[in-house]
Structure 1
Amino acid sequence: MTGWLAVAGLGPGAEALVTPEVTEALARASDLVGYAPYVDRVAPRSDLLRHASDNRVELERARLALELAAAGRRVVLVSSGDPGVFAMAAAVFEALEAGPAAWRGLDIRVLPGVTAMLAAAARAGAPLGHDFCTLNLSDNLKPWSLIETRLRLAVEADFAIALYNPRSQARPEGFARALALLQAICRDARPVIFARAVSTGAESLRVLRLPDATPELADMRTLVIVGSSQTRVIDRPAGPLVYTPRSAAVPAEAS
């Protein structure tokens, strides 16, 4: 039996946002590997072995998936959103590079998914309609000083900014620091979108101006999008729409 490994994104939550490609891979799989809440999103099947694990064991999870594939199993390693965006695809390739040479001959595919960032942006309108960047505010794998540097440079470049993992119970101070930094640097009333659990029954969406944004509005299920200086809000009875125009003015010094 020839094994394979598919690193798959389950999307932001709704079953309708799981791609047909991922659904097909799950139907063919002999083994399902992933963080327990993501494994729970996949319907049980009598011939599907489930290998659920804790949150902070990404490399161990990746090695298990590679070992199973090397043993001839058909393995799907699941992430939420897209597996290449702050998720398991990078961990798999870290394990592959450090692992046995034989693993490099495995059939390994990354199956994209709808990210929380894209789902949140679609709910809000088109806040990522022009240049944007994405930052992970978790300092588990990088120092806070690097997060702060990247945040400052993103504001200087006038990107719209999507912020992942803003605020956990273990480190509630991180988002407060990031928000204070944004408010001090920007000094304007650009819109900020707090999109929580988009596409699930717990979904909520709030649009505020940056001076009115507070840390407790976010948790680990929240995707925060901070507009650029050009991002606009269209008020309407059904709720605001946020968009960033497709064009940008040429700076005076460059004209």
Structure 2
Amino acid sequence: MGELRLPLHAETRGRLYIVGSGPGGIEQMTGEAVWAIAASDCVIGNQSYLDALQPLLAGKEVIRSSMGQEVERAKRSIALAQNRTVAMISGGDAGVYGMASIVLEVLDHAEVKVPFVVIPGVTAANAAAALLGSPLSGDFVTLSLSDLLTPLEVIEHRLSLAFQMGVPVALYNPKSRGRPHNFAQAMEIAARYRPAETPVGVVQNAYRDGERVLVTTLGDVGTIEDQVDMHSIVILGGEESRIFLRDDHGEGIITPRGYHRKYVY
């Protein structure tokens, strides 16, 4: 693979790759992401994401940090990238609830600019959708239920608007010990606008150890609420979404794109 795209102007000798590492292991990463890590002499990221990339980290300086240290991680990656090649690792896609935003915000305010590339990855909604079948085949909405950075009243307003649209909605960060009631509130809002038979898919640990796929309906979602956690993505179907039986006798969700209105098959 050739040199990755970088700005022609730079005030430093280093460079920064902001890498989306996908939902799980190396198998779900893009070739560009693997190349960027190989080309870097320093890799920085959340401990859990780096653990999954261990085979790619031999011979590199590895800087691990924990949740809640995103700003410090962004600052350090920029400082290191002034004279080194650095890979900032973000789970999923770095630009979707990932590290790209905070790194670029910090970089935008920094006195010294470093050349950077944002490398896309498979985001959690896509990973969960693949395991469910095809619930996000057309228009859809993604929303995070985490109120750490967004006020809960804003999230609730957005949920109300999204569920009125009639398209599938993928929910990130649906439930944690710090916010155990946000998921139930989201389902209560959904029930105001969607019928009880609306399909709901819950995917835990997509493409990781402990992977689990659950399919239910909005009317019965309370029966599996205790199985929803921070490692889950929840996809609530749209007006045309339906549950179907997979070849392995498990259930999945499909949202027709509209071919049936134009073609006979």
The TM-score, its normalising length taken from structure 1, stands at 0.91
Of residues 204-213 and 178-187 in structure 1, the stretch that sits farther from structure 2 once superposed is 178-187
Shift of 1:235: 2.5
Percent identity among equivalent residues?
Answer: 36
Match of 1:130 among 131, 138, 146: 138
Summarize the Cα distance change of 1:153–1:222 in structure 2 as closer, same or farther, 3 Å threshold: same
CA deviation vs aligned residue, 1:44-74 (integer Å, no higher than 9, x gap): 645311111121121111111011001x111
SS at match of 1:13: coil
Summarize the Cα distance change of 1:39–1:48 in structure 2 as closer, same or farther, 3 Å threshold: same
Shift of 1:168: 0.7
User: Is the counterpart of residue 142 in structure 1 residue 150 in structure 2?
Assistant: yes
* Cα separation, 2, equivalents of 1:120 and 1:43: 24
Task: Decide whether the 8 Å contact of 1:79 with 1:88 is kept in 2.
Answer: yes
| Aligned ranges 1:1-255 → 2 under 5 Å | 2-43=13-54, 45=57, 47-70=59-82, 72-100=83-111, 102-103=112-113, 106-214=114-222, 215-236=225-246, 238=248, 239-247=250-258
Shift of 1:183: 2.1
SS at match of 2:208: coil
* Cα separation, 1, equivalents of 2:260 and 2:169: 19
Question: For structure 1, which runs of at least 5 residues remain unmatched after alignment?
Answer: 251-255
* Cα separation, 2, equivalents of 1:17 and 1:237: 23
Q: Determine the structure 2 residue equivalent to 1:253.
A: none
Task: Decide whether the 8 Å contact of 1:130 with 1:247 is kept in 2.
Answer: no
Question: For structure 2, which runs of at least 5 residues remain unmatched after alignment?
Answer: 1-11
Task: Decide whether the 8 Å contact of 2:26 with 2:53 is kept in 1.
Answer: no
SS at match of 1:179: helix
Letter in 2 for 1:228: G
What is the aligned residue count?
Answer: 246
Letter in 1 for 2:153: S
The TM-score, its normalising length taken from structure 2, stands at 0.88
